[in-house]
Structure 1
Amino acid sequence: LQSWSSGTDLWVSQCNSTINHPGLLEQLRAEKFDAVFGESLNWCMGGIFHLAGIDKFALAESIAYKDGMYALTQVPTASSYQMFERNFEGFPNVVDLMAANSLFFLNSDQLADFSRPSVARVIDIGGIVVSNGHGKLNKEWSAILDLRPKTIFMSFGTFVRAWAMPEEYKETIRETARALPDVTFIWKYEKPEHNASQGIPNLVETTRSPFVRLCHPLRTGQHERGKLCRYKYTSKRETAAMLNNKPFSAREIFVRNMEFLAKHGPLRQLYHYGRHLNFIQYYLLDVAFCVIGFLLVVLSVSFLASWKLILCVKRMVNVKPK
């Protein structure tokens, strides 16, 4: 929570500095962009695009779909920011500006993701940064991979620094490496000068690697990716073959959609009516209330009728013959 709080403070400070930078908005207006795109993580750009007069824009995500994106795909939200209102009187709501995107690109693929509801403006471009071909490894990496039959790459991502781990954690990794002498462990360690792998021949420290990685999820979309590996990748070869033989590449899909947006955007036709529905309408609570009300009436009438019938039967039983 502390890291998120400090990150938010930095983001607000950066956004304030950007929108108040002398001449920046004028320069952006003068560029007369055909179309632009940016990552939805940066909510500041919605206000910048508005001030620069750019209405043809798309959003992109470096991860797959997550719940927090609903606001950007036309589902109402209560989130808002005040930086622009302090500097520009009568400024529109930032969420509404970001929701005005024409296209929403996701780093996901339908063949390798959970099934989910979607809309026309959401486009999957998973694997866009994956190379179509692989060159030969240099001598250093070839020599490392040839050391043993198997190789494992260990990385704790961007936020967790291996060098800052408690010493007992590091020792656990060393013990694991010692227990598997036929496996080469490549450990992403940010400070090689610590000599963390000293004395362990199959433990190699590095700050870079071209290998496919086995990851342990820590935050945000990583948990979903971890579960997805267990759920979807039971037949890895078949899935890989399908992904490699798709009729259109992710790059082609992205480029052609951006060209279409630049020529015909903004694509208001892709908006769905859900953005105009309030909370009760969107979740069909009015229909639910009607159904529940009808059921309550039926149950009440049935209960009263049953009660009257019981009373009538009791009277008949209690009547003594003359």
Structure 2
Amino acid sequence: MRSIGLILLLCTSLDSYKILIYNSKYGHSHSNFLGSIADALVDAGHDVTSLIPVMNPKLKDGTENSKIIRIEPDQQVLDSYAKEKENYNYFELNSFNPLIAIFMGPKFPKKFEYVCRKVLDEPGLIDRLKAEHFDVYISENFDVCGTALAHAIAPKTMIGSYSSALTGQHFSEFGVPEAISYRPAAYMTSLDVHSMVDRAWNFYASLHHKYCFWFLRLSINRLMKERFGEEYPSVAEQSANVAYVLTNSEPLIEFAAPTMARVINVPGIGAKTPKPLDEYWSEVMTRRDQTILLSFGSVVKSIQLHPAVKAAIVKTISRFPSITFIWKYEEPDDEFAKEAAAKLPNLVLTKWMPQLDILAHPRLYVFITHGGMGSTQETALRGVPGIFVPIFGDQMKNAGMMEYNGFGKVFDKNNLGDADKLTATIKEVLENKKYRENAQRISKMLAKKPFSSKEQLVKYVEFAAEFGASAALRPQSVDMSFVTYHNLDVILASAACIFIFVYLICKMCSRTAVKLVALISGKTKNE
């Protein structure tokens, strides 16, 4: 028996790989995505270490089972977060405003640069990580410090990732066709491909996004060259050589667009199995036959809404006395909350709720959400119709793809103060059966997918660990300039050749015509 146990142990160790995951803690969805990847790989028997530079200390690490190397936050970053919390209202943000790109673009990288310097300054860290000889290194291409560190850490192979669908610089860096004429950019909720105006807006949205994130890449590239020398490869150069790219995109609810064989979708990798509700929430869900859940996520706060907008939402809720409304409201004991709760018996204001478990309850009929990738995927998995109120970032595109697939309606955040419009939209989603039918149909499709995200993740990471990056999966487009990628040089050369050819033909015809006229004129005179 001991020999059998020893053989099993040896087999397990032979199949176990050393994996490092760079999981910068700045956003819940990002930490949850990479943390869930780490835990799934631990469950598969691998030796996983999570390098966690802390930007926002209030967030969870995302991982529960992997080994952790934590880099404590820089004081300048903590001060920046405190200032943002005090002064920034996402409800007032206009993603299309060019002034945001012009003024905020250069400021955006500061927090990431401070944190990246903190990682580089950690005594002996880079040398220790390099000495580990990791089989696989996984990093997200948002905080690109993680990607930039790959060359210094020197793993056997690198895997890129993103906690949403690919966007902005990801297309050129990973070699994926952007298809901007029909793939909606991050800030677009819809795109009519037959409309020149819509396609122009989409083109602008793409440029706007790339401009904002260009400064981050510029800043990190400069930092790395300052630390390791001018020959150190850029973020784009290292991204071009990844073995695979893991995304949190679900093709069954996405806009169809070109992809590459090395882009592996592992949607909902962090999704948990719904649990039975406790006594309190069970009682709330059974007060009436129908319940509507309202939440703007973990970043955007309902308390930041203008008083007139809050009043409009309360007015809307009062028009549906037979429906229970659960509203995620960060200060349920403030003056507004107390007044609203006293006025509306069908309103439940709460700082927190078990969102996943509530979405799985049969009496949950509509989810009013900001459209974050996690919330949209949970909505799809549970087959719940939604009203999607995008606030910023990729929420616009996420909301648009849900409406496109018949899950519900997109609602402009600027119209939240219009009780009549909000009432009409809720009635439309509640009463039109097509939304619930579409939602439940796609929910069944997602449940019966041939391979789970966890299976996909583990198999591809193990494959990359054993064989490294394949040259066959690396598109040559990553080595091309804008001019050569779009064949502008070929088009220009061809146009020049055609122009010269036409010019010579015209010249020859002109000379021939002159000689012919002269010949005819000469004959006429002789006669």
Alignment TM class, shorter chain as reference: 0.7 to 0.9
Within a 5 Å distance, the mapping from 1:1-322 to structure 2 comes to: 1=100, 7-74=108-175, 79-80=217-218, 81-90=221-230, 91-131=232-272, 133-194=273-334, 196=337, 197-199=340-342, 200-206=344-350, 207-208=352-353, 209-210=355-356, 211-212=358-359, 213-215=367-369, 216-233=389-406, 235-293=438-496, 296=499
Higher relative CO (Cα under 8 Å, sequence separation at least 6) belongs to 1
Quote the offset at 1:287 in angstroms.
Answer: 2.7
Quote the offset at 1:5 in angstroms.
Answer: 5.6
Quote the offset at 1:254 in angstroms.
Answer: 0.6
SS at match of 1:154: strand
User: Quick check: 2:303–2:331 contact (8 Å CA) kept in 1?
Assistant: yes
Using the size of structure 1 for normalisation, the TM-score is 0.86
User: Quick check: 1:19–1:48 contact (8 Å CA) kept in 2?
Assistant: no
SS at match of 2:368: coil
94-103 vs 240-249, which deviates more?
94-103
User: Quick check: 1:49–1:55 contact (8 Å CA) kept in 2?
Assistant: no
Quote the offset at 1:279 in angstroms.
Answer: 2.1
Q: Aligned letter for 1:175?
A: K
Deviations 1:32-88 (A, max 9, x none): 322121221121012322212224121221111223311331379975331112222
Using the size of structure 2 for normalisation, the TM-score is 0.54
Match of 2:194 in 1: none
Identify if the C-alpha distance between structure 1 residues 202 and 87 changes in structure 2 by more than 3 Å, giving closer, same or farther. Answer: same
29-38 vs 136-145, which deviates more?
29-38
SS at match of 1:170: helix
User: Quick check: 2:327–2:348 contact (8 Å CA) kept in 1?
Assistant: yes
142-151 vs 232-241, which deviates more?
232-241
Deviations 1:8-41 (A, max 9, x none): 2111111111111112112212333221212211
Partners of 1:17 and 1:85 in 2: CA distance: 16
User: Quick check: 1:105–1:125 contact (8 Å CA) kept in 2?
Assistant: yes
Q: Aligned letter for 1:261?
A: A
Q: Aligned letter for 2:482?
A: F
Q: Aligned letter for 1:38?
A: S
Q: Unaligned regions of 5+ residues in structure 2, if any?
A: 1-99, 178-209, 360-366, 370-388, 408-437
Quote the offset at 1:104 in angstroms.
Answer: 0.4
Q: Aligned letter for 2:393?
A: T
Partners of 1:142 and 1:189 in 2: CA distance: 19
252-261 vs 185-194, which deviates more?
185-194
User: Quick check: 2:140–2:147 contact (8 Å CA) kept in 1?
Assistant: no
Partners of 1:276 and 1:107 in 2: CA distance: 26
Partners of 1:292 and 1:214 in 2: CA distance: 54
Partners of 2:326 and 2:119 in 1: CA distance: 40
Partners of 1:113 and 1:87 in 2: CA distance: 40
SS at match of 1:193: coil
Quote the offset at 1:239 in angstroms.
Answer: 2.1
CA RMSD of aligned residues (A): 3.2
Q: Unaligned regions of 5+ residues in structure 1, if any?
A: none
Quote the offset at 1:248 in angstroms.
Answer: 0.7
Quote the offset at 1:294 in angstroms.
Answer: 5.2
Partners of 1:217 and 1:273 in 2: CA distance: 36
Identify if the C-alpha distance between structure 1 residues 141 and 4 changes in structure 2 by more than 3 Å, giving closer, same or farther. Answer: farther
Q: Aligned letter for 2:347?
A: L
Partners of 2:448 and 2:241 in 1: CA distance: 34
Deviations 1:132-161 (A, max 9, x none): x53321112211111222222222234321
Quote the offset at 1:244 in angstroms.
Answer: 1.3
Identify if the C-alpha distance between structure 1 residues 259 and 139 changes in structure 2 by more than 3 Å, giving closer, same or farther. Answer: same
Partners of 2:104 and 2:308 in 1: CA distance: 24
Deviations 1:161-199 (A, max 9, x none): 111222222111111111211222211112222151331
User: Quick check: 1:162–1:190 contact (8 Å CA) kept in 2?
Assistant: yes
Identify if the C-alpha distance between structure 1 residues 4 and 280 changes in structure 2 by more than 3 Å, giving closer, same or farther. Answer: closer
SS at match of 2:142: coil
Partners of 2:329 and 2:132 in 1: CA distance: 43
Quote the offset at 1:123 in angstroms.
Answer: 0.9
User: Quick check: 2:173–2:478 contact (8 Å CA) kept in 1?
Assistant: no
Quote the offset at 1:237 in angstroms.
Answer: 2.9
Partners of 2:506 and 2:317 in 1: CA distance: 72
Size of the aligned set, in residue pairs, is: 318
User: Quick check: 2:341–2:349 contact (8 Å CA) kept in 1?
Assistant: no
SS at match of 1:82: helix
Partners of 1:158 and 1:137 in 2: CA distance: 21
